[in-house]
Amino acid sequence: MWYAFWSVVHDLWFFVVGNFVTARPLATASYAQLPSPLSRLQLADVTHSLPLVSTSVPIIPPVITTASVGSTISIPTKETSHLTADDDATRIVLPRARLHEPSILYVSALAGTVCLQEPGGVFDAIITTLSFGTAVTVAGFSGRYAHVQKGNYTGWVLKDDITPHKKDVWPELLTWGMYGAENPDTIKIRALINDEFGAGALALPLQAGEYVQLRLLQDKRTIVWPTGRPRLPGGWQSLLKGTLGIHSTITPKTDTIMEWQTENDGGRLAYVEAVGLDGVITTSCVGLVVAGQYTKQVWGAGDWKELRPTFIEVS
């Protein structure tokens, strides 16, 4: 009876004074850790000043721990507080991090990259060749190779031939910027359009038709060209007449090609970026005044109508 009374006082003592020793469930505590017996007078003072609490459930201090993703941690509960560290306590498994999530990357090799059925040097493993700027879905990596998907093709390409940064592939031209044959952005544009007009081989500055071809490519639209040549600004409407997917009009629309004739030196091409309700249009073009120079221009309704342009829509 005396021992039971002493156990109650022991619990109350630790409740008030605090955990001077490491808190452990009462059922596994060592009696050698108990403080020396109190005198009857001390015992009366302590029990008189303490609030009434229930001792039927042991007090379990909060546990603060760190755990890595994918590890297992144990959470003590009322039913498992008496178990030791080696017992099967309640366990929570943290979710494992995904090693890789599919992402979009771009072919950054100017000459393109081959897509292989298997990574490494294997005979007759080439599935297709992906051109510069092609967007591919990357599902994972293995050594020097990346597992990619493009349309119906799934295979492996060199990691060094792809980049996550679209700006490394698709140029952002600066207004009034000069784009000669050796300009890095000019080289990128000609790689993206496969040097459609052969201007790269002639070392010419960036041409108006090349810029328009790039803008169509960015909008995922393509002209199926007839065999007539040369494709000079001012002659596109005549050359493309009757071509599937081509429609010409005198009314401007966003994402159409604006073509007009000049008095002295042939014609001009521009790409319509926006059309306002009041007839104002915004265009971007190369070589409007100076060869190889990129400009953006806002035309009032009266200004562009004076040019008598044709607007070529590519479906």
Q: Are residues 155 and 265 in the same domain?
A: no
Q: Are residues 21 and 151 in the same domain?
A: no
Single out the residue of 162, 153, 72 nearest to residue 109, CA to CA.
162
Q: Tell me, what's the pLDDT at 69?
A: 42
Q: Tell me, what's the pLDDT at 9?
A: 63
Q: Are residues 54 and 129 in the same domain?
A: no
- pLDDT at residue 176 above 70? yes
Please compute the mean of the pLDDT values over residues 227-240 and round it to a whole number: 95
Q: Are residues 130 and 214 in the same domain?
A: no
CATH of the domain at 154: 2.30.30.40
The answer to whether position 72 is within a domain reads: yes
Please, which residues bridge with residue 271 across strands?
A: 257, 284
- pLDDT at residue 32 above 80? no
Please compute the mean of the pLDDT values over residues 46-68 and round it to a whole number: 46
- pLDDT at residue 143 above 80? yes
CA dihedral (279, 280, 281, 287) in degrees, to 10, reads 130
Single out the residue of 35, 31, 286 nearest to residue 173, CA to CA.
286
Single out the residue of 173, 172, 184 nearest to residue 110, CA to CA.
184
Q: Are residues 132 and 58 in the same domain?
A: no
Q: Are residues 23 and 152 in the same domain?
A: no
Please, which residues bridge with residue 274 across strands?
A: 282
The beta strand positions in 159-196, using DSSP E, are 162-163
Q: What are phi and psi of 15, to 5 degrees?
A: -65, -40
First to last CA, the chain: 97
The answer to whether position 41 is within a domain reads: yes
Q: Tell me, what's the pLDDT at 65?
A: 42
For 243-276, how does the pLDDT look when each residue is reduced to its tens digit (9 = 90+)? 999 999 999 999 999 999 988 878 999 999 999 9
Q: Are residues 43 and 118 in the same domain?
A: no
Q: Are residues 82 and 204 in the same domain?
A: no
Q: Are residues 30 and 81 in the same domain?
A: yes
Taking the whole predicted model, whether its pTM rises above 0.85 is answered as no
Residue showing tokens 């521009």: 270
Please compute the mean of the pLDDT values over residues 147-166 and round it to a whole number: 94
- Domain end, chosen from 167, 186, 212, is at 167
Quote the CA–CA distance of 271 and 309 in Å, as a whole number: 12
Q: Are strands 267-275 and 72-74 parallel, antiparallel or unpaired?
A: unpaired
Dihedral of alpha carbons 53, 58, 63, 69, sign: negative
CATH of the domain at 304: 3.90.1720.10
Q: Are residues 308 and 181 in the same domain?
A: yes
Domains identified in the chain, total number: 3
Containing domain of residue 212, as a range?
171-314
- pLDDT at residue 97 above 50? no
- Domain end, chosen from 123, 149, 167, is at 167
For the chain, where are the alpha helices, taking DSSP H only? 2-17, 40-49, 184-192, 208-218, 236-240, 301-306
Quote the CA–CA distance of 180 and 95 in Å, as a whole number: 54
Percent of the chain with pLDDT over 70: 68
- Domain end, chosen from 117, 135, 167, is at 167
- pLDDT at residue 307 above 80? yes
- pLDDT at residue 64 above 50? no
Q: Are residues 111 and 89 in the same domain?
A: no
Quote the CA–CA distance of 103 and 137 in Å, as a whole number: 6
Quote the CA–CA distance of 263 and 9 in Å, as a whole number: 109
Output the six-digit token pair for 211: 């810029």
For 119-139, how does the pLDDT look when each residue is reduced to its tens digit (9 = 90+)? 987 899 999 999 999 999 999
- Cβ–Cβ < 8 Å for 298, 278: no
Q: Are residues 140 and 200 in the same domain?
A: no
DSSP 241-265: TT-TTEEEESS--TT-EEEEE-SSS
The answer to whether position 98 is within a domain reads: no
Dihedral of alpha carbons 73, 77, 79, 81, sign: positive
The chain-wide mean pLDDT, for the chain, equals 80
Please compute the mean of the pLDDT values over residues 78-92 and round it to a whole number: 46
Q: Tell me, what's the pLDDT at 156?
A: 97
Quote the CA–CA distance of 43 and 34 in Å, as a whole number: 15
